[in-house]
Structures are given as C-alpha cells and as structure tokens.
Homo-oligomer: A and B are copies of this chain.
Amino acid sequence: MSAQPINDLSKLCIHTITTKPWSLEEAAENYEKAGVKGISVWRQYLGGRDIAAAGERIRSHGLEIVSLVRGGFFPAVSERNRELAIQDNLKAVEEAAALRAPMIVLVCGADPGQSLETSRKQIREGIEKVLPQAIEHGVKLAIEPLHPMYADTRSAVNTLRQANEMAEAIGSDYVGVAADVYHLWWDPDLREELLRCGRNGNLFAFHICDWMSPTVDFLNDRGLMGEGCIDIPTIRGWAEEAGFSGFNEVEIFSDRHWAGDQNEFLNKIVSSYYHC
C-alpha cells in the first residue's frame, strides 16, 4: 500500500528541538506563519515559564500540542538514580498535564554498566511505576525504540518488535509506541511490526527525518526528508496501512541546519514534507 499523497499541512507537526535556536514563543509564531498545524514540545523549552499559560499561547497560534518530549531514561546501576528517574518522569507527567499535551515520548534509557537485559527490566518497571499518575492525568506514554547505535546509553529498546512486546506486556491503553523512521528504517521486520503495532492500538506517534549518507555525527547529523536514503513514503504507507492517522512529526537534530537561518530551514521542512 502506497502512502496517501500529502496535499496540505494539516498533519505536519514539528518538534521544537528541530528549530533548536528558537525559543518556544518564536517557534510557535513561525510555525503558524508557515502553516504548520502541530507542535511537539521539548521540556527544556518550558524552562522558567508558566506551563499552562505556555500551552494556551501555543494553541492561540492554531497549533495542536502533539507530545511532550521526553521522559524515560529509567535504567541505572544505582538504585538512587533509578528513583530520581521515576521522580523526573512523574514531574514530566505533571508538565504534560499542565501543558495539555496528550502524550509523553519515552527515550527509555540504558546504562553501559549493566546488561541490556537488566536495563530492559528496569525500563518496564519504570514505566509501570509512572503509569498510575499518567492515567490519572490522562497522559499517554509512548515507548520510542531507538537505533541500535544508541544501545549503550540512550535506549535498550532498539527494535519496534521490542517496543511492541513491552507495550503489549504492560497492556494499558495509556502505553504505546512512537515509531521514528530514523531509528527503524533498516529493520527487515518493519512493515510487519508496524501493522502489529497498529492492530493492537499502540501506534501513538510517527516521527520523520532522514539518514544522511554518510552520517558524520552520532547525534546531530540527521537529514531533512529527502536529503538521505530512507524511503519515507513507503514507511509512511505502512503506518497508514496500520491505521495511523495522526501527525507526521518532524524531528531533526542537525548541527548543520541549526547553524543556518531557521526561517529558511522551516521553509525547506515544509517543501520537503510534501514529498515524503
């Protein structure tokens, strides 16, 4: 099944980190001018602000808040650090509720000082400890499987299958998955696992950007859609086949793009979006 053609910007969401140099207010204003309809807010952009008021201001620009980014980072060798992570995630739930963001994206975490298996167990325990508060506030938790190159410190959940299995094992309407083409494009099981994710009601979010070839930095060398080698239309078609009808969230970390004029970059995001 091919992806539906993109004829407007009604499903275009941008993560505030994508236009890193802009404040939350600048981002909201400029996204509106460009016709963008969704925004995912990274927590650092809320610093020093009244969060509820920030949410109202964002919505006054005609933007829907898609998610708060990011919770997670549950695993740690030290029990004290695991407890601190839980506290931070409970705080994130409160922030999401104040912002009226319906979902938190979880970068689950990993600690190179222990086995991946142990980290995975701690991730599940962490999610289950935060879940009652998330349910109480009506905030969903989206497990984001991260590329295997981040298995040392960022996430021990590295495939969509693992994320699906964890969401299914927890078995709550408030726990699902955020699928990002950057992390998953190489996976031979991607279509099958996207369909499974959708079938089980767990496909909460869909993130897009591109894989530069070559990629020169582990973190901040992601490409604009079309700059790299990911077949985004095919993967988006699979997400739609899985029943996904939410926002396409543009999440690009790029020293190269951050160094340039952000309005020009935003224009490029919009034009490349039509072809992804």
A residues whose Cβ falls under 8 Å from a Cβ of B: 112-113, 115-116, 120, 147-149, 151-153, 158-159, 162, 185-188, 211, 213-216, 218, 228-229, 231, 234
In the bound complex, residues from chain B placing their C-beta under 8 Å from that of A112 are: 213, 228-229
> A147-B149, A149-B215, A152-B214 given. 7 additional CB < 8 A pairs?
A115-B231, A151-B185, A152-B228, A152-B229, A153-B214, A158-B186, A214-B218
Copies of this chain, how many? 2
Contact of A148 among B153, B186, B213 (CB under 8 A): B186
Tell me what chain A mostly uses at the interface: helix, strand, loop, or mixed. Answer: loop
Pick the 9 closest A-B CB pairs, nearest first: A112-B229, A151-B186, A152-B213, A148-B186, A112-B213, A149-B149, A148-B148, A152-B229, A158-B186
Q: Taking CB as reference atom, which chain B residue is nearest A116?
A: B186
- Complex Cα distance, B187 from A162, in Å, reads 10
A148 touching B151 in the complex, CB below 8 Å, given contacts A116-B186, A159-B188: no
